[in-house]
Amino acid sequence: MTEQRSEQPMITWGIIGCGNVTELKSGPAFNKVTHSTLHAVMRRDAAKAADYASRHKVPFWYSDAEQLINDPAINAVYIATPPKFHEEYAIAAMEKGKAVYVEKPVAVSVAACKRMADAVKANDGKLVVAHYRRGLPMFLKIKELVETGAVGKIKNIRLTMFQTHRPDIVADTGFNWRVDPAYAGAGYFYDLAPHQLDIIQFIFGEAVRKSGAAAHQTNFYAAEDAVSGIMELHNNILFQGDWNFSMPEIMKEDSCLIIGEKGYLKFPFFGTELRIVTEAGADLISFEHPQNIQHPMISKVVEYFLGRSSNPCSIEEAMKSMEVMESFAYGN
């Protein structure tokens, strides 16, 4: 349902990279949030940009990112390109005085994150990273259960993400830039783990120690297809994660166990059911994600851009997940 609108102030958006992620997950939400409107979209393929604008009733479209960034009607830019281009476009937008909302992973390296953070400071800019699971009821409920001690003091976290070499939870985009290290880093791990590692640190705080290893177990693509990592979180909580994108169909698994002294929480990161198990019994809570899954996060972003609330996910917070990812995949 569209939120009630009023007069100015207004966040007027331009989207750079109007691909699959913007079709339903994010794009329509920019016109549903109060004080927010989608003014223009950009894609290098002019025909696809024009088609997107027509289908979504967006007034303007561009095939050149610089033209969109220079559009005086736009005061906020959403960057939904492959990660390789995030740094370039985010910095260019901030240098023109635009606020920025950028997809995850925020960049392909910690070094790029640092340059983006420096640009925020240099331009007195505003940048939010699209770790939108922070706004979803299921993950907010998990955070609440941990903080209220529903399963007692937390001891261990075990995460398993086993998928085939073409995971069905990822959109098929023709040219599969997600597994090209030049465009996206360490393959599907860099595409999916940001959601998971951000929520872990959102709930438990940043890693105290971390290490890991990655491998090429098949020759489907150039990027790594298997990653394992461990980290120590605050309060002596130990985390173990395994990602493998060369598994057979029968081995597919998306699960996270948060294990406490009185029971555990079990849930998928890309699903909607939360199981709570204690000595008193077991409960299963089902959730329904919003039609436009980024809608709650975009609402928070608009409020931040208007100066009415704090940053819902800063570049510094996102950098913590990138540091863990680099440590797990490359030993950095």
Domain boundaries, the chain: 11-133+293-314, 137-288
- Residue 244 belongs to what H/E stretch? strand 237-244
Higher pLDDT, 185 or 262: 262
pLDDT tens profile 178-203: 999 999 889 999 999 999 999 999 99
Name the token pair of 169. 């939870």
Half-sphere exposure (CA, 13 Å, Cβ side) for 315? 25
pLDDT value at residue 173: 60
pLDDT band of residue 169 (cuts 50, 70, 90) is: confident
pLDDT value at residue 8: 67
Tell me whether the CATH fold assigned to 11-133+293-314 matches the one assigned to 137-288: no
Q: How far is CA 312 from CA 4, 88, 102, in A?
A: 22, 22, 12
pLDDT tens profile 104-125: 999 999 999 999 999 999 999 9
Quick check: 4 pLDDT over 80? no
The Cα–Cα gap between 22 and 82 comes to: 13
Quick check: 217 pLDDT over 80? yes
What's the topology of domain 137-288?
Dihydrodipicolinate Reductase; domain 2 (3.30.360)
Q: How far is CA 132 from CA 44, 66, 290, 295, in A?
A: 26, 26, 11, 8
Cβ contacts of residue 140 below 8 Å, gap of 6+? 134
Averaged pLDDT score across all residues of the chain: 95
pLDDT tens profile 276-330: 999 999 999 999 999 999 999 999 999 999 999 999 999 999 999 999 999 999 9
Average pLDDT over residues 53-73: 98
The Cα–Cα gap between 59 and 262 comes to: 55
The Cα–Cα gap between 277 and 293 comes to: 27
pLDDT value at residue 174: 61
The Cα–Cα gap between 43 and 274 comes to: 38
What's the topology of domain 11-133+293-314?
Rossmann fold (3.40.50)
Average pLDDT over residues 118-139: 98
Quick check: 176 pLDDT over 70? yes
Where b means 16+ CB within 10 Å and e means fewer, 285-302 reads eeeebbebbbbbbbbbbb
Quick check: 5 pLDDT over 50? no
The Cα–Cα gap between 226 and 242 comes to: 8
